[in-house]
Structure 1
Amino acid sequence: MRAPRADATRNRDQLLAAATRVFVAADAEPSMRAVAREAGVGIATLYRHFPTRESLVDAVYRDQVVRLTTAARDLLTQQPPAAAMRRWMDLFGDWIATKNGMLDTLLAMIESGEIAHAQTRAELLAAITTILDAGREAGDLRSDVTAEDIAAFLIGVFTVAPRPVHEAKAGRLLDVLMDGLRPAGRST
């Protein structure tokens, strides 16, 4: 199998970025035409890359999961573990917000088994664990908190303060959460 042409790869990446923006901004599932318009391409180009809404949702979902899982390692090379955790929480919030505009399709795909929810959960928990382990080793993060705890906290925060509408409130709640994740006697 030969590699896709550079312009085809660029178009696909442009479509994924545009779809992500449209999904974040949408209250309900947007049309495929809205995604093509946002990307600045014709509808035929969109359908050439993503022949169905499900294929587009799947690609955006997987792209976001990959970004989250690789971000854990990348952030740790750039920042101390506690700062990396806080930044990763923001990225998680972005991922949750992206799902808003594709929720019905995403839920149907999870229900049908097209998307393995358990695998995604395991990948995200592993990303959180990577940062937690580095934070414990550095003395930045408490040793008695699990990745499952953090995931539950994040789901709670973004349920009561969904992004982008409640960005400031979500930020304050995440800062409070980070204060609670630091060992006693450690501050920002």
Structure 2
Amino acid sequence: MSGYPDEPSGHVSASVKGAASRADARRNRERILRAARDLVHGPGELKLNAVAKACGIGQGTLYRHFPTREDLLVEVYRHEVDDLVAAAPQLLATHPPVAALAAWFDRVAAYARVKRDVFAAVEAATWRDLAAHSLGPIGEAVELLLAAGRSAGSIRTDAEAQDVIILIGWLSRLDDTELDSRGPRLLAILVDGLRTPGREPGT
């Protein structure tokens, strides 16, 4: 005997089938979140049937992952926060601290669009809860970036994470036109303000 009874008979074990099913479910979930993130910026209310159509799945599959529109919107926001927080150490691994901070601010601008549109679409109690729970992880990401800059001497020593969070908070209040036209310039001004006095750009 081979010791692998499923192989000669051509049968796939239950564990393999289960792993494949879970992988399919994860892929579907990611596709749903990507489609919803794109569609939440569109005109009118986000429709679950539009999300299902955009990612080529049945509505039943979508409802198994997200029973309500608010469930989906909440997860879109949480996913965006997770990506934003994860970007901080990734950028520090490949960029000097000030450049990493500037690149992270580019991600913040994209996050601000999602935050604005999701918060406008969910109940007030929901967005207050989301804001309260995301503040800590985002603050930790900011502090990681600032601490690296302070250690390298390129970020001013009196800069605090809460300062940055307050200053970038206005981004989610801007419409798309303002974000596109003013956002990059205002974030560049913020980076210059955080830089150690006397340090040249890029140092």
TM-score range (shorter-chain normalised) is: 0.7 to 0.9
- 4+ residue runs of structure 1 moved beyond 6 angstroms? none
Measured in 1, the distance between the counterparts of 2:196 and 2:154 equals 7
1:184 equivalent in structure 2: 197
Rg larger in 1 or in 2? 2
Equivalent position amino acid for 1:170 in 2: G
Measured in 2, the distance between the counterparts of 1:162 and 1:136 equals 33
1:78 equivalent in structure 2: 94
Measured in 2, the distance between the counterparts of 1:59 and 1:127 equals 20
Question: TM-score scaled by structure 1?
Answer: 0.86
CA contact (8 A) 2:109 2:179 kept: no
- Matched-pair identity in %: 37
Query: Of residues 164, 168, 180 in structure 1, which corresponds to 2:181?
Result: 168
CA contact (8 A) 1:16 1:59 kept: yes
What is the aligned residue count? Answer: 182
CA contact (8 A) 1:179 1:187 kept: no
Equivalent position amino acid for 1:153 in 2: L
Equivalent position amino acid for 1:185 in 2: G
Query: Of residues 24, 29, 32 in structure 2, which corresponds to 1:12?
Result: 29
Worse-superposed segment, 71-80 or 116-125: 116-125
Measured in 1, the distance between the counterparts of 2:52 and 2:154 equals 44
SS at 2:122 equivalent: helix
CA contact (8 A) 1:28 1:102 kept: no
Unaligned runs of 5+ in 1: none
1:51 equivalent in structure 2: 67
> Post-superposition shift, 1:84?
1.0
Give 1:101-116 correspondences, 5 Å limit.
101-103=117-119, 104-105=121-122, 107-111=124-128, 115-116=129-130
- 1:20-40 Cα deviation digits (max 9, x unpaired): 1112x2354311122222222
SS at 1:97 equivalent: helix
Question: TM-score scaled by structure 2?
Answer: 0.81
Cα root mean square deviation, aligned: 2.0
Measured in 2, the distance between the counterparts of 1:92 and 1:147 equals 14
2:158 equivalent in structure 1: 144
Measured in 2, the distance between the counterparts of 1:175 and 1:83 equals 11
Equivalent position amino acid for 2:156 in 1: R
- 1:15-65 Cα deviation digits (max 9, x unpaired): 111111112x23543111222222222222211211111221221121111
2:138 equivalent in structure 1: 124
